[in-house]
Amino acid sequence: MFMPLAPRKKSFAYLFALILIFALPGFAGDTQATFPLDQVQPGMKGVVYTIFTGDEIEKVDLVVLGVLHNALGPKQDIILVQLLGEKVEHAGVVAGMSGSPVYFEGKLAGALSLKLGVFTKEAIGGVTPIQSMLEVEKDSVSSSGGAAGASAVNTGMFPAASRLALPQEFSARTSAGEGQFLVPIETPLISAGLYPETIAQFSKQLSGWGMSMMAGGSAEPTPEDPQVKPGDMVGVELVRGDLSIAPGCTITAVESDGTILACGHPIFSFGSVSMPMTRAHVLTTLASSMASTKIITTGGTIGTLTQDRSSAIMGKLGAGPAMIPVDVTLATPNAEKKFHFEVIESPQLTPLLVALATYNGIVGSPAYGEGWTLRMEGDIDLQGHTPVHLENLFAPNDQPIPSGFYVATEVQSVFARIYSNPYEPPHVQGIHLRVTALAERRWSMIDNAWIEKSEVAPGETVAVKVLLRPYRGEPFIQQIPITIPPQTARGTLELLISDGETVDRTVDPTAGMQGPLPGLEELIKLINRGRQNDCLYATLLQPTTTLLIEDKVMPNAPSSEISVLDQRQNVGGARLLHQSLAGSWFAEMHQVITGERTLTITVK
């Protein structure tokens, strides 16, 4: 009678332990709930909890192969494990599994975070010890910076590109083969509303952060979304609205105060952050010889991600942080399409995300064609500052790059200058962009230029004629009248006939540079005074010195000022140009102008 009862008692004990695991309210500070790293031994059996389909958390058995001490740096140990069972033998360690909680003897030991490199389905993984993950919470409490002091420097010791060589004894034992490396498990970048053209143009930039872009979806928020537990999926909202982008990984621990630990490695290694967390759901798991992955959808916002560190990400359940509203309107000859979405405020990611979303809005119109010219107009509203104005024209060229991509990179470039400024953290309140598509290629190159007379008197007006060669059609001549300033001294002047970019580079190089300035407002003024590329410019230059101090341009600088600057040790970024602007004229061409010509004028 005794022998048959023993298995039943063991079964009840195991069921009770399993219920206890999921009923644990927290792990930080609870030494009974965590398994010490120094007690982990080769051959030890354990379990990992993860999701393969739906919201059903499944148990996967595993065995410890060993502990790799100082594998990722000083005191950065990794537990090497082999997963067992039919599903992992078929799919291996899957993208999106990072953070899946690992238990020994019913106690939390850490999070699955590493896998073998590509082109293998060997179910061998690395586990970040829970003690390393809990240090994220301790460090965040002691840090005075908080999310507002988000670092622009990669602070993690676990970069996405890091590789950890699999020791030879484990390679032989597991038939993994020689030369295998453990790498961080990919973080699926769940995207909804992105067109294939957008993914093709921006996937390389996003993959640089260690994320694999994949099509996903979004689910309607439900009241049950915040009720997460270890083994559930969580996403980080980067963009939401008419399109959504969110990297996703697995929750390792949920504490009684609503603190969440997940991933077991960083997403971006940004340190202190403030990003919305969302509930994520698994549709299915796709097995692949190259890289198996979870197909994921995102649900409602459940809290705020506050830390993105080397051993884990950490967040807090509750309301999510504010995001930047973005409106993009695409106007074509026959229709107008509006898009609205929100992006996170991040010095590292906001420029890229706004560019991506802008490009997605452009290529998303069925009326848009690759050979079209695009006019961009818009504003970036900054708290406490003059709006940054965006206006330019973009035409396709012979390169296999759509004109919409040039619009997107222009927006990205301006955002990068704003966010990388050394003066103050900018607070973007809104972005408004309007892109008008013109169903033709509007582009002309400066082929030649001449003036009706080479000798002029001060105050005299002469005509400059410019031969322009369009993309298609006959060359044509554009005339620009210029007036020699009455105060011009006798001598030789240069007349630069060019596009706007050449003028900025030649006459006002500070417009394209960061440089030491009094503050952000002055940087905005520099950006706003940049010349457009749909105008033909005639710029008169004289051989006198121009003094550049901060955002000020001082032509015809007297020798006394130059002498004073030479005697000073620190001139606040002052520079000298060996020519000065004597006059500038332009003609609106309503097409993109490229090229330059230089003429010589003699003042009698």
What percent of the chain stands above pLDDT 70? Answer: 78
- Has residue 31 got a pLDDT over 70? no
Work out the pLDDT band at 376, boundaries 50, 70, 90: very high
Alpha helices in 76-224 (DSSP H): 86-91, 130-142, 168-174, 196-207
Work out the pLDDT band at 141, boundaries 50, 70, 90: low
What percent of the chain stands above pLDDT 90? Answer: 40
pLDDT, tens digit, 9 for 90 and up, residues 218-269? 788 888 889 999 999 999 999 998 888 898 899 999 998 999 999 998 988 8
Are 457 and 508 in the same domain?
yes
Are 461 and 429 in the same domain?
no
Average pLDDT over residues 280-292: 80
Let me know: does 116 contact 122? Beta carbons within 8 Å: yes
Work out the pLDDT band at 172, boundaries 50, 70, 90: low
| 403: CB partners within 8 A, 6+ apart | 370, 372, 373, 374, 394, 395, 396
Q: What is the CATH number of the domain that holds 99?
A: 2.40.10.10
Question: Comparing 147 with 331, which gets the higher pLDDT?
Answer: 331
- Has residue 170 got a pLDDT over 70? no
Let me know: does 431 contact 326? Beta carbons within 8 Å: yes
Work out the pLDDT band at 94, boundaries 50, 70, 90: confident
pLDDT of residue 269: 86
d(CA 211, CA 188): 6
Work out the pLDDT band at 478, boundaries 50, 70, 90: very high
Q: Is residue 17 part of a domain?
A: no
Structure tokens of 313? Answer: 């990400």
pLDDT of residue 194: 85
Three-class SS state of 226: coil
pLDDT, tens digit, 9 for 90 and up, residues 114-140? 987 666 667 889 999 999 999 888 776
pLDDT of residue 148: 39
Work out the pLDDT band at 74, boundaries 50, 70, 90: confident
Are 220 and 281 in the same domain?
yes
**pTM (predicted TM-score):** 0.78
- Has residue 159 got a pLDDT over 80? no
Displacement of CA 124 from its chain's centroid (Å):
31
- Has residue 17 got a pLDDT over 80? no
Q: Tell which residue, 343, 422, 326, has the closest CA to residue 380.
A: 326
Q: How many domains does the chain have?
A: 3
Are 304 and 288 in the same domain?
yes
Please identify, among 389, 420, 438, the residue that sits at the C-terminal boundary of a domain. 438
Question: Comparing 468 with 405, which gets the higher pLDDT?
Answer: 468
pLDDT of residue 336: 86
Average pLDDT over residues 100-107: 95
Average pLDDT over residues 557-579: 53
Q: Is residue 157 part of a domain?
A: yes
What range does the domain containing 383 cover? 324-438
Average pLDDT over residues 427-449: 91
Work out the pLDDT band at 5, boundaries 50, 70, 90: very low
Structure tokens of 521? Answer: 């407002």
Q: Is residue 307 part of a domain?
A: yes
pLDDT of residue 121: 62
Are 44 and 172 in the same domain?
yes
- Has residue 602 got a pLDDT over 60? yes
Q: Left, alpha or beta for 540 (phi > 0: left; psi -120 to 50: alpha)?
A: beta
Please identify, among 290, 321, 352, the residue that sits at the C-terminal boundary of a domain. 321
pLDDT, tens digit, 9 for 90 and up, residues 382-423? 999 999 999 999 988 777 778 888 899 999 999 888 988 888
Are 290 and 344 in the same domain?
no
Q: Is residue 229 part of a domain?
A: yes
Q: Is residue 9 part of a domain?
A: no
Which of 181-185, 328-332, 504-508 is predicted most confidently? 328-332
pLDDT of residue 580: 78
Please identify, among 299, 321, 343, the residue that sits at the C-terminal boundary of a domain. 321
> 541: exposed, middle or buried (C-beta count within 10 Å: 0-12, 13-18, 19+)?
buried
Are 455 and 472 in the same domain?
yes
Are 317 and 332 in the same domain?
no
Q: Is residue 3 part of a domain?
A: no
d(CA 233, CA 283): 11
Q: Is residue 138 part of a domain?
A: yes
pLDDT of residue 51: 94
- Has residue 545 got a pLDDT over 80? no
pLDDT of residue 211: 63
Poorest-confidence range of 96-110, 284-298, 553-567? 553-567
Poorest-confidence range of 301-310, 439-448, 488-497, 556-565? 556-565
Average pLDDT over residues 459-472: 93
Are 562 and 419 in the same domain?
no
Are 220 and 95 in the same domain?
yes
| 150: CB partners within 8 A, 6+ apart | 270, 271, 272, 273, 274, 346, 347
Query: What is the CA angle 507-510-514, rounded to 5?
Result: 165
Are 121 and 260 in the same domain?
yes
Q: How long is the chain?
A: 604
Let me know: does 446 contact 466? Beta carbons within 8 Å: yes
Mean pLDDT (the chain) is 81
Q: Is residue 1 part of a domain?
A: no
Are 424 and 546 in the same domain?
no
